[in-house]
């Protein structure tokens, strides 16, 4: 394919297949793995990598100073994502790891475990089937930039790095109140997290190394090391203030780890806006077209253009307009297919509104080869739609549009000559809204990945949300 001869006439089905099966991301993942591990037999290595089928599993670091809540957040994330929980202490005590005895010997002699040994333990643990298939959340490691760089050198790279922070006074207070259950190793707090079970209460002990002086020393060490770790994971970290309710910290952390990093994959927007009359589809489509250069395709205008141009297709459409009946699906789809197959739509993408009206049309549209990759449902109560549409009017002299409530004319002369479109009559608006309400449930089930929006708010707030779903990948939904 000649890269200089753009736009390329790529069949739409190719783009649909590539997006549906994440072909670009798959190739990118394979290339990254090849460059990291540099296997002698690349083909066998790629086959083994594909058979793991774990490119989307969680790979998360949870970092922060002492008493910032790392363990709690890491365990909650594991529970929510069904991932494997890992921490340095469990690595050392695991008798299934070949070099765990070596690490325990270093600890028993009050020696610092070498960084290379930490990395070897973690590398071996991550090759276990639970980590490979379910993903993992690592609590409190790496502790230094050197450890982070060593992890990178052996190919251990997290997809998300959660960094917790809080004022030192808060952290010292939290740490001094810690108590440990020696049986389950669960951490409790005298003020914030006291166990309900009386048996657990009786066996709680005070952990070693949590005096005020020891805590201050660990905080100082953490403050020295955290900036270097953040620099290592500059593109994949999020700092979260831990000086707030734990559920709020968890909500922010979960929202982050469910997000997908921005992809370099080619993306052609194919946006479908669905909603009742008056929900603002026209405005949102115009805003998207203006900012991103995608083609604004209003189905009703397409049909009217064909009739106005006196084309053969227009002659077929005209009787439907005169009788007030919907245009037949075969004619409608033919007109729509011809428009979406043009080079501007294939090159820059499109935003479609006014079609489909029901599940049958949606299914025919899909089999035509122009499946949307973002579907937005703009929900609006019927009474609000009536207020928006039935009270709007146009000045036939200036062409200016007014609204009785939101934009009334300031001059009496303009007010007298305002004209309302017969289509905006309350009865007709109510009929259209009722038709949409009967069809929307089926459409919502058909477009199961649809995004739902409250259209009864500022239009630019709605646009910002639509925009965020276009420029960033959608969150990964895991069972």
CB 467 within 8 A of CB 70: no
Q: What is the pLDDT of residue 1?
A: 39
Domain extents for the chain?
58-257, 270-471
Can you read off the two tokens belonging to residue 305?
């253009």
CA atoms of 453 and 277, how far apart (whole Å): 15
Q: What is the pLDDT of residue 264?
A: 65
Tell me the backbone φ, ψ of residue 472, rounded to 5 degrees: -120, 145
Query: Considering the entire predicted model, what is its pTM?
Result: 0.63
Domain 270-471 falls under CATH 3.40.50.300:
yes
Can you read off the two tokens belonging to residue 433?
């809204």
User: Going residue by residue through the chain (479 aa), what tens digit of pLDDT does each one get?
Assistant: 344 555 556 666 676 777 777 787 788 778 877 887 788 898 888 888 788 776 778 999 999 998 898 988 999 999 999 999 999 988 988 888 888 888 888 877 777 889 999 999 999 999 898 998 899 999 999 999 999 999 998 889 898 999 999 999 988 888 887 788 888 777 777 777 788 888 888 888 887 777 778 888 889 999 999 999 999 999 889 999 999 988 999 999 999 998 876 666 667 889 999 999 989 899 999 999 999 889 999 998 899 898 888 888 888 988 888 887 888 989 999 999 999 988 888 888 899 999 999 999 999 998 887 889 899 999 988 888 888 888 787 888 888 887 777 788 888 888 788 888 777 788 888 888 888 889 999 999 999 889 999 999 998 999 999 988 887 655 554 44
Tell me the backbone φ, ψ of residue 68, rounded to 5 degrees: -85, -5
Can you read off the two tokens belonging to residue 440?
């929307």
Can you read off the two tokens belonging to residue 221?
């060490």
CA atoms of 101 and 453, how far apart (whole Å): 56
CB 174 within 8 A of CB 71: no
Q: What is the pLDDT of residue 250?
A: 95
CATH architecture classification, 58-257:
3-Layer(aba) Sandwich (3.40)
CA atoms of 169 and 219, how far apart (whole Å): 11
Q: What is the pLDDT of residue 405?
A: 75
Q: What is the pLDDT of residue 2?
A: 46
**Does 270-471 match 58-257 at the fold level?**
yes
For residue range 217-232, list pLDDT tens digits in order: 889 999 999 999 999 9
């Amino acid at each position: 394919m000649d890269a200089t001869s753009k736009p390329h006439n790529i069949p739409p089905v190719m783009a649909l297949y590539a997006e549906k099966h994440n072909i670009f991301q798959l190739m990118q993942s394979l290339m990254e793995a090849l460059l990291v591990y540099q296997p002698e037999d690349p083909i066998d290595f790629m086959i083994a990598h594909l058979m793991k089928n774990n490119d989307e599993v969680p790979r998360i670091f949870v970092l922060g100073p002492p008493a910032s809540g790392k363990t709690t957040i890491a365990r909650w994330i594991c529970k929510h994502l069904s991932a494997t929980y890992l921490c340095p202490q469990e690595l050392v005590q695991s008798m299934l790891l070949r070099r765990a005895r070596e690490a325990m010997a270093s600890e028993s002699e009050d020696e610092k475990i070498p960084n290379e040994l930490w990395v070897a333990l973690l590398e071996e643990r991550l090759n276990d089937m639970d980590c490979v298939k379910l993903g993992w959340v690592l609590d409190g490691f790496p502790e230094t930039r050197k450890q982070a760089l060593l992890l990178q050198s052996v190919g251990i790279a997290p997809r998300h790095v959660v960094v917790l922070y809080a004022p030192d006074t808060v952290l010292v207070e939290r740490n001094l109140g810690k108590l440990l259950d020696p049986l389950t190793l669960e951490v409790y707090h005298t003020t914030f997290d006291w166990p309900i079970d009386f048996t657990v209460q009786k066996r709680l002990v005070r952990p070693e190394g949590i005096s005020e002086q020891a805590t201050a020393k660990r905080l100082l060490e953490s403050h020295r090391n955290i900036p270097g770790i953040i620099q290592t994971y500059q593109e994949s970290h999020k700092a979260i203030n831990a000086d707030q309710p734990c559920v709020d910290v968890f909500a922010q952390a979960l929202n982050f780890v469910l997000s997908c990093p921005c992809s370099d994959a080619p993306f052609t927007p194919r946006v479908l806006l669905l909603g009742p009359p008056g929900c603002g589809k026209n405005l949102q489509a115009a805003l998207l077209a203006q900012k991103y250069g995608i083609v604004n395709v209003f189905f009703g205008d397409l049909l009217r253009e064909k009739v106005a141009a006196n084309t053969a297709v227009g002659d077929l459409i005209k009787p439907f307009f005169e009788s007030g009946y919907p245009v037949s699906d075969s004619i409608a789809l033919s007109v729509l297919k011809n428009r979406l197959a043009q080079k501007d739509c294939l090159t820059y993408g499109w935003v479609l509104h006014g079609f489909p009206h029901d599940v049958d049309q949606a299914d025919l549209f899909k089999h035509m080869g122009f499946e949307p990759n973002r579907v937005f449902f703009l929900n609006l109560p019927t009474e609000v739609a009536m207020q928006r549409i039935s009270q709007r009017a146009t000045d036939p002299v200036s062409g200016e549009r007014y609204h009785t409530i939101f934009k009334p004319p300031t001059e009496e002369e303009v007010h007298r000559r305002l004209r309302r479109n017969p289509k905006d009559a309350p009865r007709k608006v109510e009929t259209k809204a009722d038709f949409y309400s009967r069809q929307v449930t089926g459409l919502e089930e058909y477009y199961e990945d649809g995004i739902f929006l409250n259209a009864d708010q500022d239009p630019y707030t709605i646009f910002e949300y639509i925009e965020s779903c276009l420029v960033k990948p959608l969150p990964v939904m895991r069972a």
